[in-house]
Amino acid sequence: MRAVILAGRGQAEPRTGATLIRLAAHCRKAGVASIVAAGFLQHQRPSFGEALEQCVARGAREAVIVPYTLSLAKEDWADLERTVQRARQVYPHLALRIAEALGHHHALIEVLIQRVIEADYVAAHHMHHGRLTWPGWQKQRAIGLLIVGKGLPDIPAPLEEAITTCCPTATRYTAVRFYAADQDGETLKSSLQALIAQGCQAIIVAPYALERCRMTAPVIERAIACVSARYPEVTIIQAEPLAYDRRLITAIADRVRAAIDVS
């Protein structure tokens, strides 16, 4: 029997990780595998070891581990491989495979675009108080869009094309910029100021991230606050991260199939 383990990094902040557990349950219902569990590599429970133990107890003879992240740095990949190697010593009868990270699957790009549209729509229909206004829903070439990824590998090459050709509201965005967040708030502020220099009086900052990251989210928030204070005539809003979306199940299923095909 095959199991799938969604392996999250885990965060020290409370109330994080619910998305991953919920996603594992829906993957199981969708038939991605007979057994689907969520496990965290640090801080949170169930731990990866607990998730693996649960899978074995339910009869798993093989398990595909899907890193629940957009990409893995070399050191993170090495840590995961060491964790899996230790698990092989504990369960020598269990075939363990590591799938690719979710990466830049088309489903994730679709969810990102939806998050942008959601933020835009809500602002267009509700932000009309005081001096903060937002371009009407039908107005074209009125908004700057800044996509923020955690690092260069987290920004997919096809994303700009997807936004400019496939996004239903593409004509609303007068400029699209990308920023690989490296906790350098000054660089992020410069990216926002570059959009303002292009004439953008309304800007959406969209994090290309599965969840709110405790390292990069404050950088984004500080940069928005700083630029908003300097340019009070400019309205800057932030879209939600990808978070839970059923389309992520498609990405997970594809990663599982690819791992099985390679083995």
> How does pLDDT run along the chain (263 residues), one tens digit per residue?
899 999 987 665 555 567 888 899 999 999 999 999 999 887 778 899 999 999 999 999 999 999 998 887 788 888 899 999 999 999 999 999 999 998 778 898 889 999 999 999 999 887 655 556 789 888 888 899 999 887 655 566 667 777 777 778 888 888 888 887 665 556 889 999 999 999 999 999 999 888 877 667 788 899 999 999 999 999 999 999 988 888 999 999 999 999 988 76
Give φ, ψ of 35 to 5 degrees: -125, 125
Closest to 84 measured CA to CA, from 72, 97, 93: 97
Give the domain ranges of the chain: 2-101, 106-238
Around Cβ 230, how many Cβ atoms within 10 Å? Answer: 12
For the domain 2-101, what is the CATH code? 3.40.50.1400
Same-fold call for 2-101 versus 106-238: yes
- pTM of this structure: 0.87
Collapse the DSSP code of 108 into the 3-class scheme (helix H, G, I; strand E, B; otherwise coil) and give the result: helix
Select from 3.40.50, 3.30.980, 1.10.238, 1.20.930 the CATH code of 106-238: 3.40.50
Query: Which tokens belong to 56?
Result: 């074995």
Closest to 210 measured CA to CA, from 120, 76, 104: 104
Evaluate whether 239 touches 205 at the Cβ level (below 8 Å): yes
